[in-house]
Structure formats: C-alpha cells, structure tokens
Amino acid sequence: MWKGNVVRIYTGPDNRSHFEDLSLPFDAIMMEGHAQHRSPTMPVKGLLFRENQLGPQGEYHTPKQRQFVITISGAVEITCAGGTRVFGPGDVLFAEDLKGEGHSNRELHGPRMSLIIQVTEDFDIRRFTKSR
C-alpha cells in the first residue's frame, strides 16, 4: 500500500541532479460513514500515459517540464549525482531537474507504463510535502 512517499529529483547548486525523499501529509475525513485519507488537492496542467521499451541505459537528460512520474507497471533505474534508485509499480517521482547535468534511465522490467502528471508553472511541491 502506498504511504504518501514521493522522491523528488532536482538540480542542486552544483548544477547536478539529486534525490530528496518527501512525504505527503494525509487528512482523515469521513465519507459515507467510513474514514478516508486524502492529500491536499494539487494544481495540474495535464496528464498522459507513457510506455518505455526495454533498452540500453539512456543518456543523461533533463525533463522538459516539472512533472510527477508514477510507475504503473515495469521498473526503471534512475541514476544521477545523488545516486541510483529503482522505481517500480506505485512509486512516485517528482522530476524537476530541468537544468544542469540531469539524470539517466535504465529500464529494468518492461515495457514500463507510467502516468505523467504535468504541474502548473507556479507549482511548489514543498507547499504539499514534508521531508522524510
């Protein structure tokens, strides 16, 4: 079960990409007599589904826009100056390393299907999360 964990990848002052572990706080609400938990509503500008085929490790790159990448199926290994992490089904990445060296991807199990949720220009993930 997903616990509200989000991994942020961002450009540090060294112009290289790093990971940061964040957590979304959840509020408990009652709906139809049952306790439910939900995060704050976040502004988004679009979403799409993407399929990545298995292949060799990709070149270092930066995303075109700030976005959530939620792995639905398959798995990917992401490498940057901050280390290497593996993301599988249910894992949430917030990619905002728009400049600098960037990161590389290596598909581990695939094809990998992801849900990409693009955020608005003024979106600040820190308003919705806390460091873990």
Q: Which two tokens stand for residue 84?
A: 């290497």
| C-alpha triplet 100, 106, 112: angle, nearest 5° | 115
Measured CA to CA, the distance from residue 69 to residue 91 in angstroms comes to 8
Condensed to tens digits (0 to 9), the pLDDT of residues 50-96 reads: 999 887 778 999 999 999 999 999 999 999 998 999 999 999 999 99
The phi and psi torsions of 124 (rounded to 5 degrees) equal -125, 105
The structural domains of the chain, with segments of one domain joined by +, span 5-131
Does an H or E element contain 21, and which? strand 17-23
Condensed to tens digits (0 to 9), the pLDDT of residues 100-119 reads: 999 999 999 889 999 999 99
Q: Which CATH superfamily is domain 5-131 in?
A: Jelly Rolls (2.60.120.10)
How do strand 92-96 and strand 5-11 relate by DSSP bridges? parallel
**Could you tell me if 77 and 83 are in contact, meaning their C-beta atoms sit under 8 angstroms apart?**
no
Collapsed DSSP state (helix, strand, coil) of residue 93:
strand
**Could you tell me if 99 and 62 are in contact, meaning their C-beta atoms sit under 8 angstroms apart?**
yes
Question: Looking at residue 1, what is its pLDDT?
Answer: 55
pTM, two decimal places: 0.90
